[in-house]
Structure 1
Amino acid sequence: MIDIGVNLTSEQFAGDEAVVVAEAQAAGVRTLLLTGTDLADSQAAAELAARWPGVCYCTAGVHPHDAKSVADGWITRLEGLQALPQVVAVGECGLDFNRDFSPRPVQEAVFEAQLALAARLKRPLFMHCRDAHDRFAALLAPWRSQLTGGVLHCFTGDRAELEQCLALDLHIGITGWICDERRGQALRELVPLIPAGRLLIETDAPYLIPRDLSPKPKSRRNSPAHLPHIAATVAALRGESLAALLAHTSAAARALFQLDEAMS
């Protein structure tokens, strides 16, 4: 299994990083992709990933929440991080019009700058979109032919949004949101529509712990060790064996993030 979204730099994991990685490995999660959300966080993610070469990789980018905080020269610093061997994608980047922690024009400018960087460096994108689909697609579409690929992580959109993302040749990241009987029902109906080769699985730990874990864990902190539970749920919804699901999701992740090349 490959968990494409782990926020191992979160304060919720402080001091426990080695335990989290070891427990994930014991659960069958071979590879973890650590998420970078601003320049400092991306540097921290890169330093953590370097502790477990061949097991942990990371992204480097600026999340829309943090777009307002960029300073002069930020894109040059981000390009420098992209040169590190453990960094395999530009992101987390995109738009978030739900919380609007950064002004929308600033979010858009920072997203477009990262699209341009990914196109120039031929790096895949790790992307975020919340309540901003139309604008997200409008900004991404002109760049798509120049990009090597990308994933919309933690997808929770509707069928029309899924179809448009697939038309843009994006990969789709599915989290434990589908294990939430309150919020996940619509997504459960869409998961079978994602073609093999375009579906990726993730925990987004420490967030989005699966609500249907049994027995209920004492901690509400999600962990990459819960990825097998998410994978089994996705496989059942798709009418696939778990082995088949893991084969195509892992192959898709290795190809998108060029992990076989990074491992060599």
Structure 2
Amino acid sequence: HIDNRIDQIQKLRGDLPEEIRDLEDEKAGLETRLENYEEEVQEQEVAKRQAELDIKEAEGLIEKYEEQQLEVRNNREFDALTKEIESQEERIAEARETIDEAEETIESNESAIEETQERLDELDDLLDEKREELEEVVEDTEEEEKSLEDLRDEAAEKVSSRYLKAYSKLRDRLRDGRAVVPLKRGAAAGFAVPPQRQVEIRKRKTIVACEHTGRIIIDQDLYDETVDEMKQKFDL
């Protein structure tokens, strides 16, 4: 019954520890994503500012070349200045395209930042709630669980290592972990027990296992005595 009670305590915690881990993993992933979005915004802001400077510089050069065109003496010089003006106009067009792309990326990332931050705020609230819930369960059961584990260790020292190993394997194999069940009205854990086996169980001299499930079957009175002892010991 010690292991059954420990199982009950752990069941009280349910999936809370795993839920908390999942939420923490999601939070860590979102925080990394948020950093990436913010870095991208900063990079695009820098690119935008540089493009604006390029436009300003190119416009200044165009103005300069246009003034020089008024002073040229031949077509060759005029054409050379025209090419320089066209080059700066291309530079301006490219810079404006860079600005448009940067603004689009910034807008997209700022929207993603807002959504990510909202989800992070939700996760913080959820984590606070789940941690508080788990903390309450742990506080209510921690002392009892520690006492039960100490009691289990004491009991294990009195049992043959061969039997203990078999018992542990049985618990691991069973979905509910109940390796020991009581004989009740000629049956144990839903399976009928032959009359001769019932006699052996009541004599309490040998270990009797269920031929269907492998569970250890004990006398109902012994089971009840153990349960009562546990209730008194742990005020259940």
Q: TM-score range by the shorter chain?
A: under 0.3
The structure with more helix, counted as a fraction of residues: 2
The structure with more strand, counted as a fraction of residues: 1
User: What TM-score results when the alignment is normalised by the length of structure 1?
Assistant: 0.21
User: What TM-score results when the alignment is normalised by the length of structure 2?
Assistant: 0.22
Greater Cα radius of gyration, structure 1 or 2: 2
Higher relative CO (Cα under 8 Å, sequence separation at least 6) belongs to 2
